[in-house]
């Protein structure tokens, strides 16, 4: 349930939330597409939703979180 800033136990949590919104944007808004050679998908090795980069040969995608080749 949403709380007003005055109702939070400490202002630190709310301040961190506002900083994250400024830095990363609203998660409900449409995010920009990744740059060419990159895709965002689920990694079956580490279990994270992560960015994958296409290797220089153009054959494998590498998870930028755990470095697993997919």
In the chain, which ranges are continuous DSSP H helix? 11-24
Tell me the β-bridge partners of 40: 51
pLDDT computed for residue 53 by the predictor: 92
Q: What confidence tens digit (pLDDT) does each residue in 17-41 have? A: 888 888 877 767 776 777 788 888 9
Phi, psi of 18, deg, nearest 5: -65, -40
* Structure-derived torsion over alpha carbons of residues 61, 63, 41, 1, reported in degrees to the nearest 10: -170
pLDDT computed for residue 8 by the predictor: 65
Mean pLDDT of 34-58: 87
The share of the chain scoring above pLDDT 70, in percent, equals: 90
Q: What is the CA radius of gyration of the chain?
A: 17
Q: Look at residue 69 and tell me whether its pLDDT is greater than 60.
A: yes
């Amino acid at each position: 349930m949403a709380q007003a800033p005055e109702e939070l136990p400490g202002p630190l949590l709310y301040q961190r939330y506002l900083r994250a919104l400024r830095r990363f944007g609203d998660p409900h808004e449409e995010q920009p597409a990744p740059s060419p050679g990159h895709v965002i998908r689920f990694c079956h090795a580490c279990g994270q939703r992560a960015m994958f980069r296409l290797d220089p040969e153009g054959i494998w995608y590498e998870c930028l979180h755990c470095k697993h080749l997919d």
